[in-house]
């Protein structure tokens, strides 16, 4: 009986296959790179921070081209992802990526570029904020939605908080814009906070009713911690804004929540780390490069930045020390995942 052999795919065919399967949340790569850059700059390593910011901008440009190409060639796959509860909210990484890069550009003195990025991010946030939940919640495919709720849903909250971080760092061109800027910043922070609470309830209900297997505990669950950490950074930014009516009205409430959110994020850190050990060491789930790993690196970097800023502003040396240690962890995690991504890309090119 003759043996059948499959014809190896050409490089073009493999590239198109990879494009078709491009993860909706791949902009988490930009988020992670950008926030580690911000953390390094906060810690005084401006030169390395600038290199990472450049890598983040380059990654964002490449991913933008790839997403446009995917829309042209594999439009139905993108629409299917947008209706899938397990993947749809990954598209919000585009918003957070724009905002994180905007913060980095503000530090470089590129205010106009920062405003443009925040405008793009805000526009996408408004569209996705209404379209994606409608697609997910109102479209039924016969499978229970609650059973497919996962950590990627927290990116919706992160996207909103990221806009608050970026907006709070802007210098209004005139006093006439200061009130509007304050309103938009507080609005973004408030929406992100309330979304976090609602999503946390849904995720807890999913785990209580349906359980979670080691295979299902993906790196996106780390975003639960990252969403709290970015609320701390955004809240601290709002607290430091110039006095305008909306900021003054919310300053006391927001200032009182910052420490609370940081403490809860700290509590989650060992919990998530332990769950990772449970997944990979006890149940032997292979630890290999997947795009969702960037959704773990970002919360690590964001927690470090939140700790550094909170410790500095409130004169808490212990908290600042935790931030330094957290930044070391975030940099190591970024380097490991980046190396894994490069190895995976080289293997894809070679067809191995």
Q: Which two tokens stand for residue 93?
A: 């990484």
User: Which DSSP state fits 96?
Assistant: H
Spatial CA neighbour of 135 closest among 86, 77, 82 = 82
> H-helix or E-strand containing 227?
helix 223-239
Spatial CA neighbour of 17 closest among 349, 335, 321 = 349
Per-residue pLDDT of the chain (352 residues; tens, 9 = 90+): 444 455 667 878 888 888 988 999 999 999 999 999 999 999 989 999 999 999 999 999 999 999 999 999 999 999 989 888 989 999 999 999 999 999 999 988 888 899 999 999 999 999 999 988 888 887 666 678 888 899 999 999 999 999 999 998 887 766 778 888 899 999 999 999 999 999 999 999 999 999 899 999 999 999 999 999 999 999 988 888 888 888 888 888 888 889 999 999 999 999 999 999 999 999 999 999 999 999 999 999 999 999 999 988 888 899 999 999 999 999 999 999 999 999 998 887 777 6
Distance CA 235, CA 266 (A): 17
Looking at domain 21-132+146-350, what is its CATH homologous superfamily? Voltage-dependent anion channel (1.50.10.150)
Distance CA 103, CA 42 (A): 12
What's the pLDDT score for residue 132? 87
Distance CA 282, CA 276 (A): 9
Distance CA 125, CA 223 (A): 18
Rounded to 10 deg, the angle between the 11-20 and 317-350 helix axes is 140
Spatial CA neighbour of 231 closest among 202, 263, 201 = 263
The sign of the dihedral angle between the CA atoms of 123, 127, 129, 132 is negative
What does pTM read for this prediction? 0.92
What's the pLDDT score for residue 334? 97
List Cβ neighbours of 326 (8 Å cut-off, separation of 6 or more). Answer: 300, 303, 304, 307
Q: Is 26 helix (H, G, I), strand (E, B) or coil?
A: coil
Distance CA 158, CA 220 (A): 12
Largest CA distance in the chain: 83
List Cβ neighbours of 245 (8 Å cut-off, separation of 6 or more). Answer: 179, 182
């Amino acid at each position: 009986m003759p043996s059948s052999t499959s014809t190896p795919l050409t490089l073009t065919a493999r590239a198109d296959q990879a494009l078709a399967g491009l993860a909706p949340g791949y902009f988490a790569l930009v988020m992670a790179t950008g926030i580690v850059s911000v953390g390094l700059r906060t810690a005084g390593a401006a030169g390395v921070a600038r290199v990472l910011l450049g890598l983040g901008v380059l990654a964002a440009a490449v991913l933008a081209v790839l997403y446009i190409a995917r829309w042209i060639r594999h439009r139905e796959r993108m629409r299917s992802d947008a209706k899938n509860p397990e993947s749809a909210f990954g598209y919000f990484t585009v918003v957070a990526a724009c905002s994180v890069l905007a913060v980095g550009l503000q530090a470089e003195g590129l205010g106009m570029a920062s405003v443009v990025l925040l405008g793009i991010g805000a526009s996408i946030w408004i569209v996705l904020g209404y379209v994606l939940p409608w697609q997910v919640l109102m479209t039924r495919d016969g499978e229970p939605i609650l059973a497919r709720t996962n950590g990627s849903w927290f990116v919706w909250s992160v996207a909103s908080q990221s806009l608050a971080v970026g907006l709070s760092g802007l210098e209004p061109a005139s006093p006439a814009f200061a009130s509007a800027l304050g309103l938009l910043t507080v609005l973004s922070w408030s929406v992100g906070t309330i979304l976090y609470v609602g999503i946390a309830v849904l995720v807890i209900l999913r785990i209580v009713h349906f359980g979670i297997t080691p295979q299902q505990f993906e790196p996106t669950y780390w975003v639960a911690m990252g969403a709290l950490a970015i609320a701390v950074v955004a809240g601290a930014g709002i607290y430091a804004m110039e006095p305008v009516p909306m900021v003054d009205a919310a300053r006391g409430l927001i200032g009182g929540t910052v420490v609370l959110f940081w403490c809860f994020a700290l509590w989650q850190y060992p919990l998530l780390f332990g769950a990772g050990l449970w997944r990979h060491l006890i149940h032997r789930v292979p630890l290999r490069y997947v795009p969702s790993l960037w959704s773990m690196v970002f919360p690590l970097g964001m927690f470090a930045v939140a700790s550094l800023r909170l410790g500095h502003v409130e004169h808490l040396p212990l908290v600042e020390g935790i931030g330094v240690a957290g930044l070391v962890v975030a940099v190591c995690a970024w380097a490991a995942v980046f190396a894994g991504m490069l190895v995976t890309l080289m293997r894809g090119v070679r067809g191995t």
